[in-house]
Structure 1
Amino acid sequence: MSAQSESAARFPTAVYAGRLRRAAELTAASGLDALLITPGPDLKYLVGSGAASFERLTCLVIPADPSATPAVVVPTLELAGLAESAVADLGLPVHDWVDGVDPYGVVGSLLPKPGRTAVAEAMPALHVIPLTTALGAPPVLATGVLRELRMVKDEAEVEALRRAGAAIDRVHARMAEWLKPGRTEAQVADDIAAAIVEEGHTGAEFVIVGSGPHGADPHHEVSDRVIEVGDVVVIDIGGPVAPGYNSDSTRTYSIGEPSDEVAAKVAVLERAQKAAVGAVRPGVTAESVDAAARDVLAAEGLAEVFVHRTGHGIGLSVHEEPYIVSGNRIELAEGMAFSIEPGIYFRGVWGARIEDIVVVTADGCEAMNTRPHGLTVLPAS
């Protein structure tokens, strides 16, 4: 890997060193002795490794003592999967193993006994059960530690989210190239997916093209439905930029001039989205931001057609904490990143959604997306 591509694949080594120290400190503060991390977003966050998870155990072992050095247990045949990570630059010991060796015993040998060990909630049971035997006690979930680590983004992460937001904005800016009457949702989606990569993403994570009645299904993806003049079309798209941070932005389009009713209701939705963005600042609760959007819609008789939460956290995963939803009383803090995406859905007829990613700042928030928020009218021919 060249120096340029390695730089794109991960952050500077010092970023990961700081994250590992913080992970050890939070593990100790939680009354735990160690943290065990298998491949997935948490491993990528901590050491920049995109290693895949197979039946053979790969595990990052983080002792609760910040002065102790974390270690990696990995199958010999998968050592190459660590090459793009910061493991070597961090000087972490690597304990590789071959078939016939008990990797769970290797992990156990690196930990104090008896001890209280935490594992990521995505660790397969295939590994949790034999680890229980090796550790002499069942591990607990590390959800609280990992949430605290990843929920507040550092400046390197925020900059990656800015690049992701700008890249997906460039795709939305080109929508008139593809979103035309006579084309199917699937054809439009193929063009959008290619453009997502062209505009700077490493791949297209998802493409939703919900035309006409399909726009009333928030989780519709694509179909062979032919787009028609007069359709309202929901376009929800996103993907990762190096080193793995995601974009996610929704805009709603009209093929030709919309009816007065559609225009008026989307205008209310635009006000609701703006109200929620305006409610974001440190110290307010996640549920209060949800309420800011919901209250605007309720005042116009649209409460019943807003059928999902207002937002979700984003970073190395498209959906992560914090969730912007009623009942979530977590207080927002500077550096938290999440979507603001109220929608209205008229089953079997049409729907609309407006979505930005925002990052909490010292006195409000910064939007990662800047495309126009209202209904965008595209040519009918």
Structure 2
Amino acid sequence: MTVDTTARLAGLRDRMRAQGVDLVVLAPSAHMDWLVGFHPLLCERPCLLLVGPEREAFLMPALNAEGSRESTAIPFHVWADDVGPVEAFAAALADVGSNSASHVVLDETMRIDFAALVLDALPWARRSFTDDTLSYLRMRKDHREYAALKMNALLADRAMQAGFAALRPGMTEKQLAAIIFDHFASEGARPDFAVVAAGSNGAFPHHHTGDRVLAEGDAVVIDIGGTKGGFPSDITRMAVVGRPPEGYGQIHTIVERAVQAALKAARPGVLARDVDAAARKVITDAGYGEYFVHRTGHGMGIGGHEPPYITATSDTVLAEGMVFSIEPGIYIPGRFGLRLEDIVILREDGPEILSSLPRDVHVVAE
């Protein structure tokens, strides 16, 4: 997707001024992708984008320079292996007007040796991460981002339906995952993951899809995602092979009520932890609180997991345009797990679900 780098740099500088930040330093990452539309190859050679009060520049390894020039007009300060990056980094700092910066924001995803290069050059500077600058901006999606995420959500719906159509007793978790992957690929998407967790494996929220054979009475957690056009998808639905295990229907109802409670709580101005609390209260009041072992949701944009995080401790104030998952679950060791996940975008009057696939359990006839 085309990025309006000029507008995004201007927005970042507005936030920098508001937060008293003199310099933002990014490594090749989703942050860099969002800001300038690409990132050079990440390796052990320091490669950094420096954004100062009025100018920006790259610290660029010589091996990356020629290929990266095709993607950006931002000035390069190139360094070679026989010289090292220290002098080129000092020149880049001077170029962007930040060689005496007193408040530096570091990309929290960068390698520690990249960060050391920055901190050694500015030992007096106050240091923070991107929460109040770049991450703050990334959380609020524009219409183009929404359209890309919506398209991917509907694609994931179809991949899930392909999995439902193929699901039969006697097939393995891996075989079902392969069918879902094939559907993503058939629509030009990169398959990212397919967690297929049958029976007792469903009690592990991050189960590694394996060779377990799907059998009569299995409840099956199916959590899938793919990427197309630089944006991901993420959806979890449930299937049951034949007759559901004892108690399944009651627990599905409880988890669905938790989803509904979170949807009702999610409004602009509400704290993220209050959305988590709404979902958690439903499950706890039903007697299954100890079996809800993860957060209620995570943000999504060009990254599959990014702020805002819908956790019991998050003080993030939700705002219109934020995109995040709502995915409460109950996991009963030795029996089964049950999770229902949708991605939503927050509107003025509440969340809009990007998927169109109902959260009803898919039952495979005996």
TM-score interval, normalised by the smaller of the two chains: over 0.9
Q: Which amino acid aligns with 1:147?
A: S
Q: CA deviation at 1:138?
A: 5.8
Shift of 1:260: 5.8
Contact 1:217-1:351 at 8 Å conserved across structures: yes
Aligned counterparts of 2:203 and 2:90: Cα–Cα separation in 1: 52
Deviations 1:295-322 (A, max 9, x none): 2223322222211111111112211111
In the aligned structure 2, how far is the partner of 1:174 from the partner of 1:183?
Answer: 15
Amino acid at match of 1:11: T
SS in 2 for 1:294: helix
Q: Report the alpha carbon displacement of residue 137 of structure 1 after superposing the two structures with TM.
A: 4.1
* Local SS of the residue matching 1:277: helix
* CA pair 160-118 structure 1, distance change in 2 beyond 3 A: same
Counterpart of 2:231 (choices 245, 265, 281) is: 245
Task: Choose from 252, 255, 262 the match for 1:269.
Answer: 255
Structure 1: gaps of 5 or more residues = 1-9
Whether contact under 8 Å (1:215, 1:233) holds in the other structure is: yes
> How much is the aligned-residue C-alpha RMSD, in angstroms?
1.9
Query: Are 2:288 and 1:302 equivalent residues in the alignment?
Result: yes
CA–CA distance in 1 between the matches of 2:232 and 2:70?
19
Query: Aligned equivalents of 2:315 and 2:352: distance in 1?
Result: 22
Counterparts in 2 of 1:223-372, with a 5 A limit?
A: 223-242=210-229, 244-259=230-245, 261-372=247-358
Question: Do residues 55 (structure 1) and 44 (structure 2) align?
Answer: yes
- For residues 196 and 122 of structure 1, the distance between their equivalents in structure 2, rounded to whole angstroms, comes to 28
Q: 2-side partners of 1:169 and 1:82: how far apart?
A: 36
1:175 is aligned, of 163, 171, 177, to 163
Asked if 1:132 corresponds to 2:115, the answer is no
Normalising by the residue count of structure 2, what TM-score does the alignment of the two structures yield?
A: 0.92
For residue 56 of structure 1, what is the amino acid of its counterpart?
Answer: R
Note closer, same or farther for the CA distance 1:38–1:81 as it changes in structure 2 (3 Å cut). farther
Instruction: Tell me how far 1:200 sits from its aligned partner.
Output: 4.0
In structure 2, distance between residues paired with 1:372 and 1:283: 28
Q: C-alpha separation between the residues in 2 aligned to 1:53 and 1:16? A: 21
Where 2:51 maps in the other structure, the secondary structure is strand
Q: How far apart are residue 81 of structure 1 and its match?
A: 4.6
Deviations 1:90-139 (A, max 9, x none): xx222333222332322222323322332211221222223333345467
Task: Report SS of the residue matched to 1:60.
Answer: strand
The CA deviation at 1:80 is 4.9
Match of 2:86 in 1: 104
Q: CA deviation digits over 1:235-294, x for unaligned, max 9?
A: 00112221x221110001001132462122212211221221222211111112112222
**Which residue number corresponds to residue 180 of structure 2?**
192
Aligned to 1:154: 142
Work out the CA distance in 1 between the residues paired with 2:58 and 2:292. Answer: 46
Could you say if the C-alpha distance between residues 189 and 84 of structure 1 is closer, same or farther in structure 2, counting changes exceeding 3 Å?
Answer: farther
| Alpha-carbon spacing, 1:50–1:207, altered in 2? closer, same or farther (3 Å) | farther
**Equivalent AA in structure 2 for residue 172 of structure 1:** M
Question: How many equivalent residue pairs?
Answer: 360
The letter for the 1-side match of 2:166 is W
**1:141 and 2:128 are equivalent in the alignment:** yes
After superposition, the Cα gap between the structure-2 partners of 1:60 and 1:371, relative to the gap in structure 1 and judged at 3 Å, is: same
1:200 to 1:288, Cα distance in 2 relative to 1, 3 A: farther
Q: Counterpart in 1 of 2:361? A: 375
Distance in 2 separating the partners of 1:130 and 1:18? 29
Secondary structure of the structure 2 residue equivalent to 1:182: coil
Q: Mean Cα displacement is larger for which, 174-183 or 332-341?
A: 174-183
Q: Which amino acid aligns with 1:47?
A: V
Moved more, 302-311 or 132-141: 132-141
Contact 2:41 2:64 in 1 (8 A): no
* CA drift at 1:84: 6.5
Query: Structure 2: 5+ residue runs without aligned partners?
Result: none
- Which residue of the other structure, out of 13, 18, 41, is the alignment partner of 2:7? 18
Asked whether the 8 Å contact 2:27–2:47 carries over to 1, the reply is: yes
Q: Which amino acid aligns with 2:153?
A: G
Partner of 2:26: 37
Superposition deviation, residue 183 in structure 1 = 1.1
Whole-angstrom distance in 2 between the partners of 1:78 and 1:11: 22
TM-superposed CA distance for 1:43, in Å, is 0.7
Aligned amino acid, residue 198 of structure 1: S
